[in-house]
Structure 1
Amino acid sequence: MSRTTPQESASDGVAAVERALAIVAAIAQRAEPISLADLSRATGFYKSTLLRLIASLERAALVVRRADGRYALGPYAHTLGRAFEATYGISETILPLLQGLVDKGTESASFHVYHDAHYRVCLLRVDSHHSTLDRIRPGDLLPLDKGAAGRLLTAYLVQGLPPSQAGLVLTSMGERDPNCAAVASPVFGPDGGMCGAISLSGPKERFTPAAIKKMSKLVQESAAAATQGLGGRWPAAR
């Protein structure tokens, strides 16, 4: 008779948690509730696996099954989001800064935070006054390894680089979307670690050298102000 070792049980438990979080991430990425079939395609999990894990997520109120059979985020997901914002005062501090950037004629302003090993999430967004925009909405998951904000998050939070190596402003041209560009700057929290990145993004043709220079200065000033507002310390110039 075979027995499961403690190590095997722990490994199975970790795998189950990772799969459950992948389900939550797939649901969060959709603007509308998602069917079981679409959820299976998005995660690569069998429907039987999904149903077993979703049952636990429903009990935790992280996922709810609607009357039409589709799935959406549950009330506890909203509670977590409110708790995150309350802990760091992110919306109160950063949203006015994003609006201030847009009012100065910049491209659309966003605040991105680390989501997992593959994605970042757009937490806050203010669209620019231009007629054409890059279509990003709060809650969207974007690649962690592409785009100015993503590369900053990777440098600080994945690679663990200091500001002198990671930089305080980055530019990307057509990395995430071949038609879009961005400039971004890191925001630091009270513990001294990076807590997110402010980015200015839009159609690539508007990112002329003069525009990049102007927006790089503005986004870095706003990131420094956000850092101060969150109780962090902006790195000294080197």
Structure 2
Amino acid sequence: MSKVLSSDSSEKNDGVAAVDRALVIATSLANSGSALTLTELSLRTGMYKSTLLRLLSSLEKAGLVVHRNDKRYALGPLAFVFGRAFEQTNGLQDAIHPQLVWLVNQGTESPSFHVRNDDEHRLCLMRIDSNHSTLDRIRPGDLLPIDRGAAGKVLTSFGQGLPAKTLNAQDLLFTSFGERDPLCGAIAAPVFGPSASLVGALSVSGPLERFSELAVSRMKSLMLKAAQEATQNLGGKWPLVG
């Protein structure tokens, strides 16, 4: 005999589905890079316009979405509040940003900091351009594939946290040459938090032509220093390096 859901269970399921759809809308707006029309949102989310209008109305009231005068939808001020709260709660800005500045001052390629977004993507949280005239194109908020690039290798390799065994310096450094972008190279190292949990990946990236053997060796040394300092700033324990 099939089980009939109670009205309470049905309402809970409807509520969860509505939250899931609202998050899909907010994520679509965040990833678009520009405001979207209702038609564009419908194509991106796969939702009917009637469903979108109902959910957008609730998101507007909360301040997570704004409906502009040009009839397009964009993220609202609540998204900024969430972003600031994330930074303050995790202490990332104070712990990571000084290391990005330090790396630039040492003459490295452009440094950035990445975290896992989902099983397929990593998210660039911070980025500072290097002092070089030609740069790669990465900006805070960019979603990048987690299965390609030096930072992606860090996030997948240390996803379960820091292993108990003693590591060599090379175990903490990852490189990529032309993987995500055929014209770009990158070097990345992990940043750990309390309880040896992985916080994210610190990386430097730029045109592949500037990743000579000498430059890579120098930047690897600088990356280890920056990642260790960031880890200690977050109250994490840097691994023993054999």
Report if TM-score (shorter chain) is over 0.5.
yes
Instruction: Report % sequence identity.
Output: 54
Alignment of 1:88-127 (within 5 A): 88-127=90-129
Alignment of 1:25-104 (within 5 A): 25-104=27-106
1:200 lines up with 2:199 in the alignment: no
- Displacement after TM superposition at 1:10 (Å): 5.7
Match of 1:188 among 186, 192, 196: 192
Q: Is 2:161–2:197's contact at 8 Å kept on the other side of the alignment?
A: no
- Displacement after TM superposition at 1:59 (Å): 3.3
Query: RMSD value over aligned CA atoms?
Result: 2.5
Distance 1:54 1:4, change over 3 A: farther
Distance 2:212 2:130 in 1: 17
Distance 1:171 1:226 in 2: 19
1:175 corresponding residue in structure 2: 179
| CA offsets 1:23-82 (integer angstroms, 9 cap, x no match) | 222211233322223323333434333333323332332222222121111222111111
Distance 1:173 1:79, change over 3 A: same
- Displacement after TM superposition at 1:147 (Å): 1.3
Distance 1:61 1:12 in 2: 22
Match of 1:212 among 212, 216, 227: 216
1:153 corresponding residue in structure 2: 155
1:228 corresponding residue in structure 2: 232
TM-score for both structures, normalised by structure 2: 0.85
- Displacement after TM superposition at 1:11 (Å): 5.7
| CA offsets 1:139-163 (integer angstroms, 9 cap, x no match) | 2222222211122212323xx2644
Distance 1:64 1:106, change over 3 A: same
| CA offsets 1:195-230 (integer angstroms, 9 cap, x no match) | 111110111222222222221221121011000011
Distance 2:71 2:227 in 1: 43
Q: Using the TM superposition, name which of 82-91 and 43-52 deviates more.
A: 43-52
SS in 1 for 2:189: strand
Q: Using the TM superposition, name which of 204-213 and 164-173 deviates more.
A: 164-173
TM-score for both structures, normalised by structure 1: 0.87
SS in 2 for 1:97: helix
SS in 1 for 2:32: coil
Distance 2:231 2:98 in 1: 13
Query: Which of structures 1 and 2 has the bigger CA Rg?
Result: 2
Distance 1:156 1:49 in 2: 40
- Displacement after TM superposition at 1:13 (Å): 4.8
Distance 1:40 1:145 in 2: 29
Distance 1:91 1:162, change over 3 A: closer
Corresponding letter in the other structure for 2:112: S
| CA offsets 1:173-210 (integer angstroms, 9 cap, x no match) | 22222221211111111242111111101112222222
